[in-house]
Amino acid sequence: MPSQHHLHWGVEALWQRLEPLLPGLSVEVLAHAESTNTLLLDRARAMSGQPDAPITRPGELAAGPADVPTPLGRRSADVQPCLLVAEQQTRGRGRLGRGWTASAGASLTFSLALPLAPVEWSGLSLAVGLTLAEALDPPPYRFAEPLPAAAPPRIGLKWPNDLWLVEGPGRGRKLGGILIETVSVGQRRMCVIGVGLNVWPQAHEGLTHGYACLQELDPGASAPAALARVAEPLVRAVLAFQTAGFAPLVAAYTRRDLLLGQPVSTTLAEAAEGVAEGVDEHGALRVRCDGLHRIVGGEVSVRLHGGAD
């Protein structure tokens, strides 16, 4: 496994590719951080003069104060776009406050912050997940090895914000996750998109959802190479989402939908158990249970029957 002392991120090359898309962008790499999302949210709140401004997640209620009291890094109070990478993240978190295992060299953990004003926020986490999956596992080729166009994807999407290594219909192991949070700064809303990807094998005792890593798809995988692969598509996808929303992506998402056609359990009382019937143009999960129910992010936890969350 590569040591963090030998990681070469190509920051200048990344900046040259991304800054024309996001003028004013900074690209930063920290050796250690508690949470890249929290760090960027704190910077934005410091700039607004409201250090206790509530953080929200699209489709969810307001969250409490962030867990890093003092902003760190090159720009301590900022609302300019920023791509912030942490080689080791010690207090990463996922949806519903879950922790995220992330060690130096074995994981890619980064956050992208930018002002965003989409027509609607619903479906953004799905658009981000799809973009990452398509960048890392592009059809009809997988890691430069040609496969038939009809070959099923190796990376699937588990609604609303997880990437899984697919091992059959409705089955797989968790490869990565996404956490999107926003905070108001004056008349603008800063969006922070946090991404965690497993790159190399690492200890993962106690995980109920299994563990997968990019090395299983590409023996030469590294955190810097994965970042170089996903960064530009991610920026382009978020900017496109701002104007077009999720609707144009439904068909592509459906191809990778891990839950599609699978029996699921949810915490929604009227749809406690049913069959997942894909997502709609707003990114809501459709569950058939005595009728068709729409489930939106922040309301439920979805589990495959016989599987883990």
Give the pLDDT band of residue 302 (cuts 50, 70, 90): confident
Q: pLDDT band for position 270 (50/70/90)?
A: confident
193 with 221, same domain?
Answer: yes
Q: What is the CATH number of the domain that holds 54?
A: 3.30.930.10
Asked if the structure places residue 309 within a domain, the reply is no
Based on the fold, state whether residues 267 and 183 are members of the same structural domain: no
**Beta-bridge partners for 198:** 107
Domain containing 223 equals 4-255
Contact 129, 161 (CB under 8 A): yes
Say if CB 79 and CB 150 are below 8 A apart.
no
Comparing 207 with 194, the larger pLDDT belongs to 194
Looking at the fold, whether 233 and 262 belong to one and the same domain comes out as: no
Tell me whether residue 32 is in a domain: yes
Residue 263 shares a structural domain with residue 249? no
Residues 153 and 279 placed together within one structural domain of the fold: no
Which residue in the block uniquely carries the two structure tokens 């955190």?
A: 223
Per-residue pLDDT, 199: 96
**One-letter identity of residue 303:** R
Q: What is the pLDDT of residue 205?
A: 62
pTM for the full predicted model: 0.86
For residue 269, the model assigns a pLDDT of 85
Domain identity same for 279 and 250 = no
- What average pLDDT does this structure show over 240-260? 97
- Same domain, residue pair 275 and 246: no
Please report whether residue 146 resides in a domain. Answer: yes
Residue 142 phi, psi (nearest 5): -125, 110
Q: Which residues, 6+ apart, have CB-to-CB distance to 22 below 8 Å? A: 81, 114, 235
Residues 268 and 198 in one domain: no
Q: Are residues 271 and 174 in the same domain?
A: no
Number of domains in the chain: 2
Cα–Cα distance for residue pair 142/217, rounded to 1 Å = 8
- Answer yes or no: is pLDDT of 55 > 90: no
Least confident range from 109-118, 168-177, 290-299: namely: 290-299
Same domain, 228 and 195: yes
The span from the CA of 268 to the CA of 242, in Å, is 29
